[in-house]
Chain A
């Protein structure tokens, strides 16, 4: 084999490498699927998911500025969402310091008040929650909630979420001692607002 042919093959092979993970799943679905699901949220102030991948330029400054290392960066395995920020709340939740909002150069994260953040909504799984099942008098989520008595109240010693005040920061999910077999907690964050249509 000539050296030139060898190098051309080498170059061609390397070019095809990024396509490998795409072949393992149905192509279009894996490229376009949004990574935002239960407990997988965008940083605070994010525009709806419909607009987010278009607006975000993947500069990673929110990741660099986050003092809690809550924000992680997706790579090419996330398809067109590669390079966008994501918070995995059961690993490290968002402490709502709002520093990422200050540095976002494209307005993908918009300047809003802490109390108006809607990253998602905490939803209690009453079949797993120790207080709801009646196993123990657990009130960890109530204690850890940054808006206690507003976002999470105790109703007959059982936690109840108020959707008018819950920011979806995930502190409750992070603190929840109950983990189900599928890895979810007894209280999970559902990114309801990310699925909203852009109204403007």
Chain B
């Protein structure tokens, strides 16, 4: 188990050290995904190899294209016409969100990678693993963000937050740096998110990320869920402390739409009360 050396010594009944390491795997996946974004512009610019192209707004691997669901949806809504390559490019992310939920956010998003590294750096400096969440907003603000974003875009006739959506912004900044030796001005948004991270964990991801909101909406009836076995639960509250989304997994909030299946709570649970399960419909 991760970081539990001291507390695991407690003499508590029913203790099982099942040792899940989702946190470790997740960091590796996040790092690999981040590395892909980092290396792609260099390969494109200096080696003129276009096999892997783009970032999380549209990623092309050979002839396989991914289109981000939010950006693709906005393109369709605003131009009021269908374009099949875009829709087919949106299918893989849509299916992943439908079955696995918001896993893009917790397992691939470059912003999450930066914030995870930030968490670890803060832990190294202050010794505290988690900060107290000082700004708390209702979780349902997430839906408001999504609706407001779509409406604002449709009024203006341009997908506004496509430019400001942080997952895409990281890739864009890397590309701007490699291609034009400069940063795009909108990168300030990333600095802002990093500042907010000093006050509340994953503040932006929780309630203000339109892409996260859309993925959460698609995956609200997902198959992969964190389920709580109340028989094993001792209500120690560890899972509440580690949850980056501010949920209460021991009360079954891992099955709610807001959970992004990162597995932090499963790692933290010492009594085998939490686990991923595949729900058949």
Contact = CB atoms under 8 A, between A and B. Distances in A.
Interface in B47-64: 48, 50, 53-55, 57-58, 60
**Which of B40, B79, B83, B134: most chain A CB closer than 10 A?**
B79
Interface in A113-138: none
B162 interface: yes
B114 to A, nearest CB: 16
State the main secondary structure of chain A at its contact with B: helix
Contacts of B55: 59-60
B185 A14 contact: no
A64 B175 contact: yes
A18 to B, nearest CB: 5
A60 B72 contact: no
B186 A106 contact: no
Interface in B187-212: 188-189, 191-192, 195-196, 198-199
Contacts of A99: 50
Contacts of A15: 192
B163 interface: yes
Interface residue tally on A, bucketed by range: 35 or more
B157 interface: yes
A57 B69 CA distance: 11
B279 to A, nearest CB: 33
A57 B162 contact: yes
Contacts of B168: 58-59
Interface of B: 40-41, 44-45, 48, 50, 53-55, 57-58, 60, 65, 67-68, 71-72, 74-75, 78-79, 83, 85-86, 89, 134, 156-160, 162-163, 168, 171-172, 175-176, 179-180, 184-186, 188-189, 191-192, 195-196, 198-199
Interface of A: 4, 7-8, 10-11, 14-15, 17-18, 21, 32, 51, 53-61, 63-65, 67, 69, 72-73, 75-77, 80-83, 99, 103, 105-107
17 contacts: A7-B195, A14-B195, A18-B188, A21-B185, A55-B78, A57-B68, A57-B74, A59-B71, A60-B57, A64-B50, A64-B175, A69-B179, A73-B180, A75-B185, A80-B160, A81-B158, A82-B186
